[in-house]
Structures are given as C-alpha cells and as structure tokens.
Chains A and B, each alone.
Chain A
Amino acid sequence: MNVIEATGRWVRFRVEEAGRAGRFLEEAAIALGSVRSWLPNATLQMRRLGVDSLPIGMLIAVFTGIVLALLASYSFTGAVPLYFVGTLVEKTITLELAPVLTGLALAGRVGANIAAELGTMRVTEQVDALETLAYDPEAYLVVPRVVAGTIMFPLIVGLAMVVGLGAGWLASLGFLQLSSDEFLKGARMFFSTFDVEYGLVKAGSFGFAVTLIGCYKGLRARGGAEGVGNAATQAVVYSAVMILVLDAFWAMTWLHGRS
C-alpha cells in the first residue's frame, strides 16, 4: 500500500467517523423531544453518574485546596501579603481546578462506566432487543445519561468548589498560621459571582461531552470483551481531550477580554 492510498483510507475513515458522530448527535437531539422515554431513566442516571461520583469529586477537592494554599504561600516568598493565599485559592479553585480536575476524574469514572455498560449491551444484542421492542436507543439510553451528566457535573463541581475552598482555608490555618479573617479577606477581595458561573457552565459542558462521548463509543462497540474494553478506553481518552479543548474554548471565548 503506498502512502497516497494509506492517506486516502485514513481521510475517508475520519470523514465517515465524523459523519457517523454528526448523525448520532442529530438523533440524540431529536430523541430529546421524547420526554416520556427518557425522563424516568434520567433520575436513575443522576444518582448513578452524579451522586455516586461525589466521593471522588470531594477527595480531589480536599487535596487540591490543601496543595493550592501551600503552593500560594511558597510562591509569594514574603513579597506578597499572605492573605492573598485566600484570593489565589478562591480564584484557582472556582475558575479552573474544581471544574477541570473533577471533570477529568469523572471522565474516567463516568465515561468508562457508560461506554462499558452500553458496549456490553451492544455486543450482547440488548440494544437490538430494545429496538425490536420499539424503544429508541437514543431516547432510552443516550438522552437520560447526557441530561444527567449535564445537570450533575455542575452540582458536583459546585460542591467541589466549596470543599476545596474549605480545605484551603483549613490548610492556611493549620500550616501557614493565617487567621480566618485574613484568609476570608483575601478570598473576598477579588471574588466575583462570575467566577462561580464560569466554573459551573464549564462543568456542564464537560458533563455533556463526557456522557455523549461515552454513549457514542459504547453504542459503536464491536466484537466481544476486547471491543468493549476498547470502547471504554477510547471514551476516557476522547473525554479527557475534549475537556481540555472545552477548557481552552471557554477561556478564549468567555474569559478572555474580561477585566
């Protein structure tokens, strides 16, 4: 096979994949209208994908808050008043680290879970069985998960912001001998509700992307156990990349230029 042929095959495969993904997205959007099909499952998925993910989200937030407080203190090297530790912890947690780190952790947990579950259903013909019983897989399987992810990711990230800030506060009290008043003074000084709004919207977009990719990869699984494994791996990798892409997208389109 020469280089031109190989390139042609690669381009054709990518174009076909993009077409399939576009069609999948379109079908999921149409299925959103079948509220009666997806609503009962959405609450179940909110618990499975959201509530059950709280421990890992909070664990990450605690350690992030502690490390941020200590990193800030180390970086200021006495040149910057120490109460700015509160500022840095608040800004970094709400704008970036709570959404992105939690999003990446959930990309692993939620993305792999969805891809493996739907992949197994696909290779054992359970998805075909659903179709023969007149269920639309997009409405029954995809939309509840995507709706649950888009709603629950911001809730988990919102809690992670609070827990992360609390952990940073406690670390400042314990390790930096900073008083509560000083920490809160720093945290309030440059606080804006926009910070929280920005972090939560970002989290919602991450939840949407992670669940949609998990569903797409799961329903495209082929073969047996190996196919399901590949689907789960790809779901995690693509979700992680998409989180970073979306993070940059929001920074460039929404954060950039604000004073």
Chain B
Amino acid sequence: MIKWVDVYKAFGEKKVLDGFTLDVHEGEAVVIIGYSGAGKSVAIKHVVGLLEPDRGTIEVDDNDVPTLPRKELYELRAHIGYVFQFAALFDSMTIGDNVAMGLRKRGEMSESDIQQRVAEALELVDLPDVQQQYPAELSGGMRKRVGIARAVALRPKYILYDEPTTGLDPVTSAVIDELMIRMREKLGVTSVVITHDMRSAYRVGSRIAMLYEGRVRQVGTVDEIQHTKDPIVRQFIEGRATLDGGEAASPAASPAKAAGGAGARGGGRA
C-alpha cells in the first residue's frame, strides 16, 4: 500500500503540495489527474525518495520513505518500477543493457537468466527485436515502451507511470494504455498513473484522484468522477476553458515540474 499523509512540499516561495493525502491499495491502478505543473510528478517522486517532503509522511508497505536509511531506501526502490515521462533511458547503452540495468544491480540472477528476463520484458511491450539498438534510434513511443519494459523487468510490486501517453499519437497512446492494463492484470502490479489525458485515465484507472492547488480535490471511481458535480473537476475532465458559471479556474501553474525533475534530493542519505 502506498500512502501520502498530509504532505507539504514547496520550491522556494511556491507551494506545490499543500496537505496532499491519498491511499493506493494493493492491486489498484490509481490515476492522478491535474493541470500541468500541479505537482503530480512531485507527488510520485516522493514515493521513491527522489524528493523529501517539507512536512508529512509517505508510506510504502508501512515504511516511512523520508526517514528510511539509504540502504533500506535502495531495497525499497527495488520493489518499485518508475516509468519516466520521457523514458529517461541511458543513451550510452543499448536497449538490452538499459532493461538489464536493474537486474544486474540486484546481483541475484545469472547473465543468461538476465538476458532471458530482458527478452521477456521487451516481448511484453511488443518490442522483441530492439535489444542491440540505442535509444536515439527509437521513436518516442518505442522509448516509452522500453521505459515500461525496464520497470517491469524487475517484477516490481508497484509501478509509477509519469505521463506515459503525453505527446503520443492516439494509437500509440492506446497501445501504452493496453500495456498498463496488461501489467496490472497479468502481473498483479499496483499502479499509480499520472496523466492529463482523460481517455487514458478512464481506460486505465480503477480510481481517479484530481490534484488541485496542492491537495486532492476529489477521488473516486471512474464512474464517480465522470458524474461529479464538482465544477473544478468537471471543467478539467470536460476540457472546458471556463467553469460552469463562466468563471475561469486558476490552474496551479508552478515550477514544480522543473524543480521536481531535478532530483533535488540526489540520493542524499546519512
């Protein structure tokens, strides 16, 4: 189970998370929606300890992530797959080596077993023949699928997807959505998906939470969100420029993305 409890995070004067609280139960796929810069990426970076909260706790399987010693944090990370928005593949390595990285670090498998697991993971994302290629030789959609393969190769308990369909054409987006559903159904992975693509959110999510002004505005099943009466949530899911009454909502535009992407914590642990 993943739990954010009353999490606060600011970058300079800008509050990004302001009392963010959310639970993700085993086997669920919780989709976090919200405006660009609302702090969605910042929220999931806390789960793997890439960022430390100013206040509040983040629990993964009863481990309080911000207070975990370095060694235990790395052990916890081995159970969490993270799919980055732009894949974040290591551009100096082949695709095969990219997918094998986490397995080699664990040191539990022979090289032939690692190669087999890599092949399986790439097969799962329908990219069986790219092992010897480099990230620069692949399209954006293929890179995202390799990012997913890298995460699932570890057979993690949790996968965090950071905007997996942003910038992709509708067909490739649907392929990625199918992949995320397959991960959950085939491997029983608990997922947190960040997106502002509502079609993807409805397809993938078992629950949807809207992050607005640093906290959860509403959380519910797909059906509950689709029939919400909350004007802010309605405006967002319907993609309207104004609220029901004609008033413009104030998207929580913030520097969160830029600051969050910088890995401010940098693994700094005593």
Contact = CB atoms under 8 A, between A and B. Distances in A.
Interface of A: 23, 27, 121-138, 219, 222-223
A138 B267 contact: yes
Interface of B: 45, 48-50, 70, 74-75, 77-78, 80-82, 84-86, 88-91, 101-102, 105-106, 150, 154, 258, 261-263, 266-268
Contacts of A219: 266
B241 to A, nearest CB: 29
Contact of B263 (A127, A133, A223): A127
A125 B258 contact: no
A45 B84 CA distance: 27
B74 A125 contact: no
Contact of B82 (A129, A136, A137, A222): A129
A124 B267 CA distance: 17
Given A122-B263, A123-B262, A134-B78, A129 B84 contact: yes
Contacts, number: 74
Given A128-B82, A132-B80, A133-B150, 4 more contacts: A126-B89, A131-B48, A134-B75, A137-B267
Contacts of B106: 134
A72 to B, nearest CB: 46
B212 to A, nearest CB: 25
A135 B101 contact: yes
Contacts of B91: 124, 126
Contacts of A122: 262-263
B267 A125 contact: no
A222 B267 contact: no
B50 A131 contact: yes
Q: Interface majority SS on A: helix, strand, loop or mixed?
A: helix
A123 B77 CA distance: 21
10 contacts: A126-B91, A127-B263, A128-B45, A128-B263, A131-B48, A134-B102, A136-B70, A138-B267, A222-B262, A223-B258
A127 B88 CA distance: 8
B268 to A, nearest CB: 6
B268 A23 contact: yes
Contacts of A134: 74-75, 77-78, 102, 105-106
Given A23-B268, A126-B88, A126-B90, A131 B263 contact: yes
Contacts of A131: 48-50, 77, 263, 267
A207 B81 CA distance: 37
Contact of A129 (B78, B80, B88, B258): B88
Contacts of B267: 27, 131, 136-138
